Amino acid sequence: MTHRLMALTVASLAILASVTSQAQGLRPAAGGGATAATPALRTPAGAQLQADYIVAVVNSEPITNNEVRVALQRVTQQLAQQRRPQPDLNLLARQVLERLINEKAQLQLAREAGIRVDEAAIDLAEQDIARQNQLDVAELHRRLAKDGVALSQFRAQLRDQIMLTRLRERDVEPRVRVSDLEVDQYLQEQQNSTAPAVQEINLAQILVAVPEAATAEQIAALQAKAQRALERARAGEDFVTLVRDLSDASDRANGGQLGLRTVDRYPPLFLEATQNLGVGDLSALVRSGAGFHILKVLEKKSAGMPVMTVTQSRARHILLRVSPQLGEAAARARLSEFKKRILAGQADFAALARDNSQDGSAAQGGDLGWANPGMFVPEFEEAMNRLAPGQISDPLVSRFGVHLIQLTERRNVALGPREQREAVRAMLREKKLDDAYATWAQELRARAYVEMREPPQ
């Protein structure tokens, strides 16, 4: 679970962070406090759900039926946008009410603790949401108004979410520690697990298909073609490029990846050919009924282990910084023109970067070098990750300015022992954070005085 303000898409701008299930959890009610029976909330067609009245009191602060109705509408809208099935509306309304109670109790604690959120922090959060959706702040405000969300309401909800995040950072995160002994124990448990069903591998393949009625001469020619491809791969040519150019398999658009899966879901022929190979190694030719396969080991792990390889990307970019002399729209237009010229063969990306990019990579033709996940700001990384090698993005906005990105290469690199331990530590800490948050929220709910109110007759 991420205890941070979540990114919002354009389609869900009206579904603000205060109703995201990941941030608040829609957790089951914890006992405690003085409570009455949960009121039977009616469906939107019922008159009672349209009327406004107090449905609950949390430490003397009321929650109204209108608050529940608005939050319920946002949650159902979010479920519809995600194409998820709609649960029973009365059950969902009770869950939404319970979440509002938990949130109310947490906000009260935050205020008592002296946690404050200034306007500058809300401005930054607003700018982040605009950037994540490739909008400027003015356009964000227009979208909110179109969706019927008042700006004051939007900013108040951002304030609440920032306050809740700071409270959890103060009260929950310090509870979580992962010792070296816990990391050692986890790694030992995984190493001692030898059941084939819990071993997972990810392979990529080049398939040179052999027709069912192929003659001996045709088979020999296809085997020679496959052998030449294997030799090129072993000589260091990019495997993804070879897949795209030579493979007859339907997975060639995905770099030939067959996907991370348990070993019992791979053909025995593939397992025999790769069982003694390390990550990044290539098999000899494998003959199956479909043809000749070249297999590359992308990943090997035990189920439950964090990924022990990391996908690195190498990209270059042209950055134009927004200034009074160069507005965002003008920067986008200039980079769009650069992209057209590059695609038409009229200009070279590296040359344009050297002449125009306004950052330290300009001297290297915009080359940013090999980067691990998380090294770039999210909006940049998300756009880069959508590219195939050689592709160029549309202009995109980040906190640094407007970028034009070209992905040049991508590779899988095995993590060293130190990086593996840190990956395990991060995984264990994330799990502990989930458990600690659930316990903390239940404890706070149990201490709160909560009175449920029946609907007026």
pLDDT tens-place string over residues 20-68: 333 333 222 333 343 333 344 443 434 344 568 899 999 989 999 888 8
176: in domain: no
Q: Which pLDDT tens digit goes with each residue over 143-161?
A: 989 888 899 989 999 999 9
65, 153: one domain: yes
Our count of domains for the chain comes to 3
Residues 247 and 274 in one domain: yes
pLDDT in tens, 82-133: 666 777 888 888 888 999 999 999 999 999 999 988 888 888 888 878 876 7
Decide: 390 and 407 in contact? Cβ < 8 Å: yes
Which pTM does this prediction carry?
Answer: 0.53
pLDDT, tens digit, 9 for 90 and up, residues 259-317 = 888 887 888 899 899 988 888 899 999 999 889 999 999 988 766 666 677 788 999 99
The whole domain housing 293 covers 200-302
Q: What is the DSSP string of 4-48?
A: SPPP--GGGTTS-GGG-HHHHTTPPPPP-SS--PPP-PPPTTSHH
Cβ 50 vs Cβ 455: under 8 Å: no
User: Which tokens is 134 given?
Assistant: 């490739």
Q: Are residues 69 and 155 in the same domain?
A: yes
Statement to judge: residues 15 and 123 lie in one domain: yes
Region of residue 60 (phi > 0: left; psi between -120 and 50: alpha; otherwise: beta): left
- Do 100 and 14 fall within a single domain? yes
Cβ pair 176, 436 in contact under 8 A? yes
Q: Cβ(396)–Cβ(402) under 8 Å?
A: yes
What are the structure tokens assigned to 346, written together?
């009229």
Clarify whether residues 57 and 129 are in a common domain: yes
